[in-house]
Amino acid sequence: MLTNSEENYIKEIYSLEQKHQTDVNTNLLAEKIETKASSVTDMLKKLAKKDLLIYQKYKGAKLNTKGEKVALAVVRKHRLWETFLVEKLNFSWDEVHEIAEQLEHIQSEKLTNELDAFLNFPKVDPHGDPIPDVNGNFATIKTVCLSKLNIDDEGVFVEVKDDSDKFLKYLTKNNITIGAKIKVVDKEDFDNSIKIEIDKKQFNISENVIKNLYLKI
C-alpha cells in the first residue's frame, strides 16, 4: 500500500521519463511536485528501498517494472475520473484536474474497472490523453505538434499537453477545443507565432500555445 505522496511522485517520474527519455533528475522533479530538492532525495531513497525504482546518487531515478505498473494504474484512474466528471457530471475540461488529483488515489480495483465499464471503456480523457486499460496498455494515437505544420497544412486538434486551467480556459475562449479542425494560414519566423483558421475565423497564436497543441493529420 502506497501513500498519496508516493503515488504522486511515481506518477510524475513516469511522466518525466516519457517526456525526456532519460533518468529523472532531482531538481526538475522537485519543481513539478512543488517541493524542495531535499524532500525529493528522501522520497527517491524510500521508493528505491520499496523496490519501485532504481536510484543512483547524483545520477537520478528510473522506474522499474513494478513502479511503472503503479504509475500506469494511477494515470488510468486519473484519466477515467476526469472523463467521468466531464461526461456525467457536467464539468468542463478546465475544472477536472485538481479533483482527479484526489480521486486517483482511491484504492479499489473493482471501482476503477466498473467506472471504466460505466464510461464504455473510453480510449482518451477530456484532454486527449490516452487511458491505459486494465492491463496498463493504451493505444498511442499518432499525433503531430502544431509547430511542425507548414502553411496550408491542416489537421484535427486531438490532444493538449498543458492541463492547467488557465491554458484550457484560454483555448475554450478561442474555440480551440478537442475535435476542432485547424488550418495554418501564416507563419511568423521572428517570434514563431502563427495564424490559424478554425471555423472560417482566423487569429494569431503564440509559440507557447502552439507547442502544447497536437493534431491528427
Partner DNA sequence: ATAAATTTTTAGATAAGTCTAAATTAAAAA
Partner DNA sequence: TTTTTAATTTAGACTTATCTAAAAATTTAT
Binding site for DNA (CB under 7 A): 3, 5-6, 25-28, 35-46, 55, 57-60
| Residue 31 CB partners (closer than 8 Å, separation 6+) | none
Locate 190 and state its grid cell. Answer: 521572428
Nearer to its own copies, 79 or 184 (CB): 79
| Alpha helix segments (H runs only) across 143-213 | 165-173, 207-210
* Residue 3 found at the interface with its own copies (CB under 8 A): no
Q: What is the distance between the alpha carbons of residues 154 and 7, in angstroms, rounded to a whole number?
A: 39
Q: 27 in helix, strand or coil?
A: helix
| Cβ-based nearer residue to its own copies, 23 or 122 | 122
> Are 14 and 68 spatial neighbours (Cβ–Cβ below 8 Å)?
yes
125 binds, among Mn ion, its own copies, DNA, none (CB under 5 to 8 A by kind): Mn ion
Which member of 107, 175, 204, 208 binds its own copies (CB under 8 A)?
107
Residue 25: which of Mn ion, DNA, its own copies, none does it interact with, CB under 5 to 8 A by kind? DNA
Closest approach, Cβ 40 to DNA, in A, equals 6
| 155 DSSP β-pair partners | 182
Longest CA span, the chain: 57
Q: How far is the CB of 217 from Mn ion (least distance, A)?
A: 22
Among 72, 125, 157, 182, which residue interacts with Mn ion (rule: CB under 5 A)? 125
Rounded to a whole number of angstroms, the distance between the first and last alpha carbons of the chain is: 43
- The reply to whether 116 sits near Mn ion by the rule CB under 5 A is no
CA distance 104 to 108: 10
- Which residue type does 180 have? A
Residue 80: CB minimum distance to DNA, A: 24
| Contacting residues toward its own copies, per CB under 8 A | 85, 88-91, 95, 98-99, 102-103, 105-108, 110-111, 114-115, 118
Q: Which residues bind Mn ion (CB under 5 A)?
A: 8, 82, 101, 125, 127, 129
